[in-house]
Structure 1
């Protein structure tokens, strides 16, 4: 009887362990959200660090038994409280241990939690091209897959806009510190961003002139970048530089006649008495493109 009793206890213990394991496996597990831009956790919209209180929107998709994607969590508002790249918000749970869930995320957050965000319309005119305003339209997007056994979702956001960076260089007998303004002719300055797909694009409309008034230009030091919508340019974009009342004209060529998403186009402009010259320049935070061209005085 003692042996029978012993084995009965063991059997009960094993059954209890088995039941406990099943119970634990059925417990919901919350997704843990972190977000980087490219390869740097501190890099963010417009090339700066995440700010305290920055918000992203997250939507989840899971394929049901009929092969149709269902969204349990829609446009969930997640915030980085300390600007360190860890985001928190209303918990999003994995229920099924085997099911994979797709997470899409965009920046900056818009709309209302629980409601799919609408396509965002905006413009990139001169008043928007400040360090304070650029993060509002430097759109970011990414998609990741997670499951219950792998609840850590680490978004690697990509820039969805295009960027142009100018550096002005003293040439023979010139001083770029006297530049008063520079402008771009041939860019479309209105566009849209779709938070569901991550597509940013310029509208089909006439191009405009984007003029930036400047002072204290330092030779060899990059100016703050402008951010514009990805677009196909109708020919070349014309750069005009005003210095001492004289206008310098330069044509900027983009590979394939296109400004691509996530690309920073950098130009170094050397001003001389009789004109200016454009040289190639590498970029780092966004993907590399180079540009060439010639400039003459008007």
Structure 2
């Protein structure tokens, strides 16, 4: 699987007018009403979610909340609810724009921010959590990113004389499963193709919490998978489906046993039962499978957290 460290950096000068509500900020100094600038990156994490694509945040949309003590419903020129920033790339440079300018309330003012990518919901409307559905794996879109690969970060920023910006470093909050399929010796004829690989037994839908939900005990940046499981059809990431081939799926983090159903072009079908596996946020799991005439050998699974991390064996029952 190809890995690239892609940094999508953009300095943003927000250029349009905003509301005049000061939201109880009362300072009057040189730093007051200084426009907030924004830089967006993906740190040391790879945004690549398909083997033959180099992903960036180009042509995507980022959602941003600027809050005071997580007061999501208070907005104005100093605070925002689900503001939409649109990215575009020209001559290898990514620029971001928003329809509203947001300002620092004072020198040394500190704000809380919650940012995610790609944008969801309605601009200007606050939401505690995002519904997420991985049952249909779409793969990389024209902008070079997978819309199921949710990126997120929350933190705080302080206005200083030398830096009026919010430096946002996003991280992957979904999990990813990659399945590499090869032939078992000469048992499979040359040119045989895979029709589909289906995951069973996992939760395909869930909610990701942008903010803490103290009433229900959910932390900011946490997942709550649905109660019911659903089939997930994996996406081919090789140029064709002739064995050897590689398939991939973005998953909601969870711990559960699951099955893999592999259907070949001659309608032969193999099913593997895998013991309980923890799929952690920001982690990629790579599973190797050998397909024979009437059997499938399941190899080990390795895991990386989009840097490098050794994993242990995973055996089928």
Deviation at 1:289, TM superposition (A): 6.6
- Pair 1:203 & 2:212 matched: no
- Pair 1:227 & 2:250 matched: yes
Distance 1:208 1:104, change over 3 A: closer
The aligned residue for residue 23 of structure 2 is: none
Deviation at 1:131, TM superposition (A): 3.0
> Which residue of the other structure, out of 99, 116, 119, is the alignment partner of 2:126?
116
Provide, for residues 1-26 of structure 1, a one-character-per-residue CA deviation record: whole Å limited to 9, x for no partner: xxxxxxxxxxxxxxxxxxxxxx9724
> Which residue of the other structure, out of 291, 299, 302, is the alignment partner of 1:271?
291
The aligned residue for residue 36 of structure 1 is: 41
Deviation at 1:263, TM superposition (A): 1.4
Distance 1:85 1:292, change over 3 A: farther
Provide, for residues 41-86 of structure 1, a one-character-per-residue CA deviation record: whole Å limited to 9, x for no partner: x83677752354311111112359xx9x966222221122328554
CA distance in 1, matches of 2:102, 2:275: 46
CA distance in 2, matches of 1:148, 1:294: 52
The aligned residue for residue 184 of structure 2 is: 171
Counting only pairs closer than 5 Å after superposition, residues 1-298 of structure 1 correspond to structure 2 as 25-39=30-44, 43=47, 48-62=54-68, 72-82=79-89, 84-89=93-98, 90-117=100-127, 119-125=129-135, 127-132=136-141, 135-149=146-160, 150-173=163-186, 174=188, 175=190, 177-196=192-211, 197-205=220-228, 207-212=229-234, 216-219=240-243, 221-223=245-247, 225-233=248-256, 236-243=257-264, 244-253=266-275, 257-273=277-293, 274-283=295-304, 285=306, 288=309, 290=311, 292-294=313-315
Larger Rg: 1
Q: What is the TM-score with the length of structure 2 in the denominator?
A: 0.69
More helix by share: 1
CA distance in 2, matches of 1:156, 1:26: 24
What 5-or-longer segments of structure 1 have no aligned partner? 1-22
Say what the alpha-carbon RMSD is for the aligned residues.
3.6
What 5-or-longer segments of structure 2 have no aligned partner? 1-27, 212-219
CA distance in 2, matches of 1:220, 1:282: 21
Secondary structure at the aligned position of 2:146 is classed as helix
Stretch deviating more after TM superposition (212-221 or 153-162): 212-221
Contact residue 62 and residue 101 of structure 1 kept, 8 A: yes
Distance 1:148 1:38, change over 3 A: closer
Contact residue 194 and residue 243 of structure 2 kept, 8 A: no
The aligned residue for residue 10 of structure 1 is: none
Provide, for residues 141-172 of structure 1, a one-character-per-residue CA deviation record: whole Å limited to 9, x for no partner: 11232222132222111112121111112221
Contact residue 111 and residue 118 of structure 1 kept, 8 A: no
Distance 1:34 1:151, change over 3 A: same
Q: What is the TM-score with the length of structure 1 in the denominator?
A: 0.73
Provide, for residues 88-129 of structure 1, a one-character-per-residue CA deviation record: whole Å limited to 9, x for no partner: 32222112212211221112223333321363324222x444
The number of aligned residues is: 265
